[in-house]
Amino acid sequence: MLTIATSKGRTLKHTLSLLAEAGIEPSEDLSKTRKLIVPSVCGNVNLVLIRATDVPTFVEYGAADIGITGKDTLAEHNSDNLYEPLDLNIGKCRLMTAIVTGRELPTGKLRVASKYVSLSEQYFAKKGQQVEVIKLYGSMELAPIVGLADCIVDLVDTGNTLKANGMEPLDLIMDISSRLVINKASMKMKHERIKGLIKQLKIAVDNRR
């Protein structure tokens, strides 16, 4: 049995389409089910539905052999215990700093709102900029508007969320896409099976380029 951890985010449709090409189809509609473990039609794969931020943890501890999640989540989690063999080239967006449109960053220590505390700290440390990062779990765009932070660090796709809240993107921190991650022990114990799956997924990814 292979266990694959993924989440019900906006990339679910694309993830399922890639998995289908690799012969893995869930036995029920993942976007609708309240179940957390859904077997595949062929019965030899279990799909585990968890929060995107929990995917690296499940895979790292071997609760799942394989995970599919964003590079943002993986970089923030920052584990040496995961193989990351494949860029799935879906869920593409950018991790950026953003500010209220027309406003300039104040001099001195900045207050930054983000759910990416570690990535924000690393980014500003490299620039030699002192920051206090305020951890939020969502609706980051609100923080500068209500005076909680000077700027935010968040994902930008179309830019519509920023625009709708009177904000604009500032600097690119990193390009993001969904990645396949593998538990190191599983890679050894289920080598042939996992190697085959990576190969099939790579073909599916290449076919879409």
Can residue 160 be called a binding residue for ligand PRP (CB under 6 A)? yes
Name residue 44's amino acid. N
Provide the token pair at 106. 């104040």
CB-nearer residue toward ligand PRP: 92 or 202 = 92
The stretch among 76-84, 127-135, 156-164, 175-183 that binds ligand PRP (CB under 6 A) is 156-164
Q: How far apart are CA 62 and CA 189, in angstroms?
A: 12
Kindly state the number of chain residues that form the binding site for ligand PRP, as judged by CB under 6 A: 10
Residue 23 found at the interface with ligand PRP (CB under 6 A): no
Q: How far apart are CA 149 and CA 75, in angstroms?
A: 23
Interface residue with ligand PRP, options 158, 192, 207, 209 (CB under 6 A): 158
Q: 195 CB contacts (<8 Å, ≥6 apart)?
A: none
Quick one: which of 57, 89, 122, 161 contacts ligand PRP (CB under 6 A)?
161
The CA distance from 185 to 87, in Å, is: 21
| Interface positions, 96-155, toward ligand PRP (CB under 6 A) | 138, 154-155
Could you tell me the smallest distance in angstroms from the CB atom of residue 128 to ligand PRP? 27
Q: Do 168 and 162 touch, CB atoms closer than 8 A?
A: yes
Instruction: Return the half-sphere exposure (C-beta side, CA atoms, 13 A cut-off) of residue 16.
Output: 20
Give 25 or 157: the residue with its C-beta nearer to ligand PRP. 157
Q: Does 75 interact with ligand PRP (rule: CB under 6 A)?
A: no
The CA radius of gyration of the chain, in Å to the nearest whole number, is 19
Catalog residues that contact ligand PRP under the rule CB under 6 A: 10, 138, 154-161
